[in-house]
Amino acid sequence: MRGFSLVNLALAAASLLPFTAATPLVARNNHVVKRTGPIAPKIVIISMFEPEAAVWWGLDEFDLLAQNITIPGLSPLFPEAHCTADGDICQIITGESEINAATTVSAFVLSPDFNLTKSYFFIAGIAGVNPKVATLGSVTFAKYAVQVALQYEFDIRDIPSNFTTGYIPLGSDSPDDYPGNIYGTEVFEVNEALRDVAMSFASAAALNDSAASQAYRALYAQEAAYILGSEPPSVVGCDVATSDVYYSGTHLSEAFENTTTIWTNGSGVYCSTAEEDNASLEAILRAAKMNLTDYSRAIVMRTASDFDRPPPGISEIQNLLYVNQGGFSPAIRNIYLAGIKVVTGILEGWESTFETGIVPNNYVGDIFATLGGEPDFGKPSEFITKRSLRAEQPAFEGNLRMKRAMVSAKRRAEEARILGVEI
């Protein structure tokens, strides 16, 4: 989910009006559905907050509020999983931010009320967007999710003159370095073949737009690098950055674009900006390690609600807080317009294709190779796998913070030796 600017806050309230007749509070199906065993959904829609969730309620295609199951551990604001009467489609609402996403998805995948071994997890929310790659209202599908803010951070007023940003990868001493310390959630790679199928389904949608979006995106045509940001919305394959901090502005966006490039060995395309995806994918992956889910069935779709940096002539503050970019309502609407194509495509092709699954043609998983395979991002496997870290550095096993402190101490000692200073 991408948070609200002052202008978008008011627009969000207005955009909810068409959905008020379909919220769980007033339109839930109170019919009791008797279950003889765990629900085995074919698709699980993961929404992050109510506007994203509400586009799936009150539809002609299916009734997602036919079953409402309270699950311990879900968000206090959204304590229920919603499912169709036949259980083919379910939805959870995580709440915004990484902690909410991780705890909600973890509670869901561990619930005995569900059998998720063949479920497709469809993350479907709004996001900020990089005007170098896409525009307001665009529908993006990620191959990589990158936790860009998992770094050291210095106030930009405190950094050396030759640094371009205050973000420095953990265990390193330069913004352009690869992290020296690996926590395991830095990068996730999903099934590219499945992503491409989902994109082909979504490409059949007629996407929503607004006059305000058209007017604002036209400003980006003044900058050659932003020409794609000035074009109409479309379906795009590009990657998502995860950060609890709702960052905005050219400097931070370019810094995290650089992070995405470095951490994916140049193959990632920094595009959409959100707060939850690495957390959700981590929970799905850990469950897959226990044979509770199939991580290769994860899809990450984000629709663009606002630009991550301003066009020429607009200040950074104006772009985030005061200008009406006009992208919120189309982005919310396009979750449904593109997403329903993905959902119906999977359901209609279940017996022929999707029950057995789409075989990945790329590495799928995290930087630790938790599910096996060989990561095609980051440094070589002897550096990034848990097994090799333990084999090469047994003194640091189980305590990355101590490792970081020891590395820093060694660096300071070496600098003192060079200067002839005793410490």
Span 302-339, pLDDT tens digits: 999 999 999 999 999 999 999 999 999 999 999 999 99
Question: Long-range contacts of range 13-19, CB-CB < 8 Å, 24 or more positions apart?
Answer: 15/51, 15/328, 15/329, 15/332, 16/50, 16/51, 16/54, 19/51, 19/54, 19/55, 19/57, 19/58
- Residues 109-122, mean pLDDT to the nearest whole number: 98
- Residues 214-259 have pLDDT tens digits of 999 999 999 999 999 999 999 999 999 999 999 999 999 999 999 9
Contact 72, 107 (CB under 8 A): yes
CATH class for the domain made up of 6-150+185-392: alpha beta
For CA atoms 59, 61, 67, 72, the dihedral sign is negative
φ, ψ (nearest 5 deg) of residue 273:
-125, 125
Q: With a cut of 80, say whether residue 419 has pLDDT above it.
A: no
Q: What is the 3-state secondary structure (H, E, C) of 75-118?
A: CCCCCEEEECCCCCEEEEECCCCHHHHHHHHHHHHCCCCECCCC
State the DSSP H helix or E strand holding residue 339, giving kind and residue range, or none if neither.
helix 328-348
At 26, is the pLDDT very low, low, confident or very high (cuts 50, 70, 90)? very low
At 36, is the pLDDT very low, low, confident or very high (cuts 50, 70, 90)? confident
How far apart (Å, rounded) are the C-alpha atoms in residues 206 and 337? 7
Residue 354 is given by DSSP the state: I
Q: With a cut of 50, say whether residue 23 has pLDDT above it.
A: no
Give 3-state DSSP helix, strand, coil % of the chain, rounded to 5: 40, 15, 45
Instruction: Tell me the pTM.
Output: 0.85
- Residues 141-189 have pLDDT tens digits of 999 999 999 999 999 899 999 999 999 999 998 898 899 899 999 999 9
- Residues 106-127, mean pLDDT to the nearest whole number: 98
State the DSSP H helix or E strand holding residue 67, giving kind and residue range, or none if neither.
strand 67-70
How far apart (Å, rounded) are the C-alpha atoms in residues 318 and 112? 48
